[in-house]
């Protein structure tokens, strides 16, 4: 018996019991659909997160006080003097710009609307380093910092919550922690990141935040953002920052009281987390394939019992053990293959629906059905059919012709 003949006979056998065939394939359809959908959601989540991190700014490094990898007490916090030293082109020629900042949370009100958001005190360099654009207005400048001006830049989410719009807001007066501030402009939306939403925040001049909103010692800063001259210079910038801060803080090698993160660090961390999540979700979905495979084995065993006389007749007429084995293996493989093909369509549909729901809720999320996921699900579903069809096929092939013909 050649393969084409085995396929034709398998199709004829499966079409003779359409309802049973359909119900048997259902387990595989659901399993493959779930696997495809989960992998698509995981890939889409990874692309969204890594894209948001990349949108933080070009060639960006983050310097925090304290050592996040070792249990080292902070001897000296980061200060404005540290930021000024990093901005010195003679000490750090690979650094293009430096932007210290202090951060806290607080309430912003306008009319009867109130929102709790992140308040960040920044210098004029912050906009360029973080790659912020403006929907309207202007960015904080040196005059605002020197004059401790009561001005504020609103993130797009804050503008939506307070005004219900993002234009025509410049010049309005809002209150931050009960104090009046004039709106200087509205920031362009940047989406989410590992720090949370980059649009749910307000920016005020560094000196204004320091004296009126965020209680810090005169010199202390929460974070220093550093922009490298180019992406290739990021390793050199990391070394320059380390050398300068070690000298200023008089810390020993290996006992740094600061931590430096690059965009690549955040991207790698995010990819690790989303990969684990994707594998976890895919593993759960694969259980459905296992259940579908057991269903195939069950139905094939029933089929062997129903067709015992047919098997005996075939063997009496000269069919070899291999022919019977191929016949039943072909049936189980076609069941899982057809179920897998339908499951791919179902998985794509689920992923599309998830993407539309995310879009309608304002979340920039696009599930991606990759070719690797499709091939993996197809191959795996066919393998499930072969594996769970092997026992029934082998049982059918081992039937004795005389006993099979006498079976009622």
d(CA 69, CA 391): 53
Counting as low any pLDDT under 70, the low residues of the chain are: 1-6, 9-10, 14, 49-58, 67-75, 191-197, 252-255, 264-270, 285, 300, 304-319, 362-365, 391-393, 395-408
Q: Which residues contact 268 (CB under 8 A, 6 or more apart)?
A: none
pLDDT at 205: 93
d(CA 179, CA 366): 41
Q: Is the dihedral of CA 397, 305, 292, 370 positive or negative?
A: positive
pLDDT at 194: 44
d(CA 140, CA 6): 76
Q: Which residues contact 2 (CB under 8 A, 6 or more apart)?
A: none
pLDDT at 182: 94
pLDDT at 143: 92
pTM for this prediction: 0.59
pLDDT at 181: 93
Phi-psi region for residue 264, left (φ > 0), alpha (ψ -120 to 50) or beta? Answer: alpha
pLDDT at 45: 74
């Amino acid at each position: 018996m050649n393969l084409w003949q085995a396929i034709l006979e398998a199709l004829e056998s499966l079409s003779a019991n359409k309802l049973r065939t359909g119900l048997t394939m259902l387990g595989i359809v659901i399993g493959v659909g779930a696997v495809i959908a989960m992998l698509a959601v995981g890939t889409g989540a990874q692309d969204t997160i890594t894209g948001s991190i990349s949108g933080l700014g070009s060639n960006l490094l983050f310097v925090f006080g304290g050592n996040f990898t070792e249990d080292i007490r902070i001897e000296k916090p980061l200060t404005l003097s540290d930021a000024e030293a990093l901005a010195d082109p003679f000490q750090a020629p690979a650094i293009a710009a430096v932007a210290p900042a202090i951060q806290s949370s607080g309430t912003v009100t306008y009319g009867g609307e109130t929102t709790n958001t992140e308040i960040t005190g920044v210098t004029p360099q912050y906009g360029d380093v973080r790659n912020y654009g403006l929907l309207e207005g202007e960015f904080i400048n040196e005059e605002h910092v020197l004059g401790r001006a009561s001005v504020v830049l609103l993130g797009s989410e804050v503008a939506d919550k307070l005004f219900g719009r993002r234009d025509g807001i410049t010049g309005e007066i809002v209150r931050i922690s009960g104090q009046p501030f004039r709106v200087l402009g509205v920031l362009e939306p940047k989406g989410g990141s590992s720090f949370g939403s980059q649009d749910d925040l307000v920016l005020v001049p560094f000196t204004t935040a320091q004296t009126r909103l965020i209680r810090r010692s005169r010199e202390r800063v929460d974070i220093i953002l550093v922009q490298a001259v180019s992406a290739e210079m990021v390793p050199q910038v990391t070394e320059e920052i380390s050398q300068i801060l070690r000298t200023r803080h008089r810390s020993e090698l290996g006992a740094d009281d600061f931590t430096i993160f690059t965009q690549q660090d955040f991207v790698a961390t995010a990819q690790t987390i989303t990969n684990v999540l994707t594998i976890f979700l895919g593993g759960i979905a694969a259980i459905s394939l296992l259940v579908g495979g057991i269903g195939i084995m069950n139905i094939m065993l029933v089929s062997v019992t129903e067709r015992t006389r047919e098997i005996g007749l075939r063997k009496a007429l000269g069919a070899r053990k291999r022919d019977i084995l191929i016949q039943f293996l072909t049936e189980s493989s076609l069941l899982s293959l057809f179920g897998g093909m339908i499951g791919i369509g179902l998985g794509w549909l689920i992923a599309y629906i998830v993407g539309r729901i995310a879009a309608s809720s304002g979340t920039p999320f696009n599930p991606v059905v990759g070719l690797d996921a499709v091939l993996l699900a197809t191959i795996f579903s066919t393998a499930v059919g072969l594996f769970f069809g092997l026992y029934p096929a082998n049982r059918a092939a081992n039937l004795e012709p005389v006993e099979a013909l006498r079976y009622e």
